[in-house]
Structure 1
């Protein structure tokens, strides 16, 4: 009897609730431009570079281009590029963190935060020839700040050893877009610090320094390290600003790569592909570590 009742109830439910048919969502159609853009301008060129890195001029497979990366000139270029990227990423992360902390937890006027965030969104994308020209007009030998310091204070920064067309000159120029990028990325992480954690630490007798050392910084550490890696990758692949500012006076990898492919003096496109392959490996590792650290940080911010 019970089985018959259950079967009848199931039939009744089947009559009331129609069976669902699988449907294809049109939302995937909206992703078509993204996938098309990624294939045409990211995946396709990357595969082309990787393939060319292992070919000679006749198209035959070879490891000579990869072995050519270990010549003294190319190794020196990689070393300078890594040093510039590390310096700009470290200074950008440090200054950007304190700037973001000031606008999030500094109890400043309400209009400060949207103003700084808006400027950071613009400045983080300001690079290339306009940025190089701006710094030449400001800190060049005849720049506005250079002449002002010389006339008003009698300080000649170039006589003191500063040179905009040098390692530290390029690093300072990179900071213009590194600091705003750090502000944009670390601000949500600072927003994720819950007030209850500070209150609980205060109730337990922890000082401000103890709260930051034992609670806040361990929570923010994955985000800070992830931002540092992202800033490193961001500056490592920059070429337009460096080339417009220093020309060929500073032997960094992007400029050397440009010289190999353009072929004014050096012309070995397959070696250029190998240079690009090395940059892809370095920036790819940085981005993978950033994604891993961001995933760890998101666990605390939920």
Structure 2
């Protein structure tokens, strides 16, 4: 028998694929280099400083875990727990308020309203820092417009407190939740609702037993994303409450500037490492949830 000869037009396919694959990796090289410089070098500097101690007398440096131990004690631990509490409460409220708003936008028949809400959410989700703090101080501060006209101060309202800061954070967390959960809501199949209603389910039962089960990964992912955004916020809290509310970002700034104790720069780096670890745990929860949500909605 004569052996079958390979077709001449098929042979170059594998080398062509390899070349395209190599060109694809080559195109990613600038991004990898930028990431290594912009994120890798600062991360290494934080890691090195967090485990470094300097002798004030001789100036000699040595590696130690004392900075991390200090960062988990006393006012530093209080600030870290305060940031976690503030972020968790703000994220939970942002998710609870953002979900029905996003559903109202998705269910609306007005395309103009939908585009207007999503555009405004994109702007408000990125509005923060000193301008946001000033806007709330001018509106709801001790001498703010609404505080004076509505007599809020007489009823015990205090913007410069934990709950006042939660209110300010909701200003950008609710729009962020709308942007995050809207694609998942749009992925809900109309056939699922029709099938549930045809089998005698009410609208509430459909949401409880079908929609929320499908949306659960996206909801938890959005909650984690909101937590991370609130946890990393600094400028708004610094401009509005100062040291009135203990937060880890404010403690880092005080340690770096020497406002409380001189020579605590490495403790500030240890606090930064604590934040990185918390953020890493948050991302470890967020990424699997996003992948699971994508599998459900693409099915």
Equivalent residues in 2 for 1:7-86, closer than 5 Å: 7=4, 9-10=5-6, 13-14=7-8, 16-17=9-10, 19-20=12-13, 21=15, 22-23=18-19, 25-57=22-54, 58-86=60-88
The answer to whether the 8 Å contact 1:102/1:108 transfers is no
**In the aligned structure 1, how far is the partner of 2:250 from the partner of 2:27?**
38
Partner of 1:235: 230
Equivalent residues in 2 for 1:117-132, closer than 5 Å: 117-132=118-133
Partner of 1:153: none
| 2:155 aligned with 1:160 | yes
1:200–1:261: structure 2 CA closer, same or farther, 3 Å change rule? same
Partner of 1:140: 141
**In the aligned structure 1, how far is the partner of 2:44 from the partner of 2:189?**
44
Q: Could you give the per-residue CA deviations for residues 132-180 of structure 1, whole angstroms, max 9, x where no partner exists? A: 111111111222222332xxxxxx2122111111101111111111001
Partner of 1:152: none
Instruction: Report the CA distance between 1:246 and its aligned residue.
Output: 1.2
Instruction: Select the residue among 266, 270, 275 that pairs with 1:270.
Output: 266
**In the aligned structure 1, how far is the partner of 2:180 from the partner of 2:24?**
28
May I ask how many residue pairs the two structures share in their alignment? Answer: 288
Larger Rg: 1
User: What 5-or-longer segments of structure 2 have no aligned partner?
Assistant: 55-59
**For 1:56, what is the secondary structure of its paired residue?**
strand
1:71–1:40: structure 2 CA closer, same or farther, 3 Å change rule? same
**For 1:31, what is the secondary structure of its paired residue?**
helix
RMSD, matched Cα: 1.7
User: What 5-or-longer segments of structure 1 have no aligned partner?
Assistant: 150-155
| TM-score normalised over the length of structure 2 | 0.91
| TM-score normalised over the length of structure 1 | 0.90
1:160–1:108: structure 2 CA closer, same or farther, 3 Å change rule? farther
Partner of 2:198: 203
**In the aligned structure 1, how far is the partner of 2:31 from the partner of 2:176?**
23
The answer to whether the 8 Å contact 1:189/1:220 transfers is yes
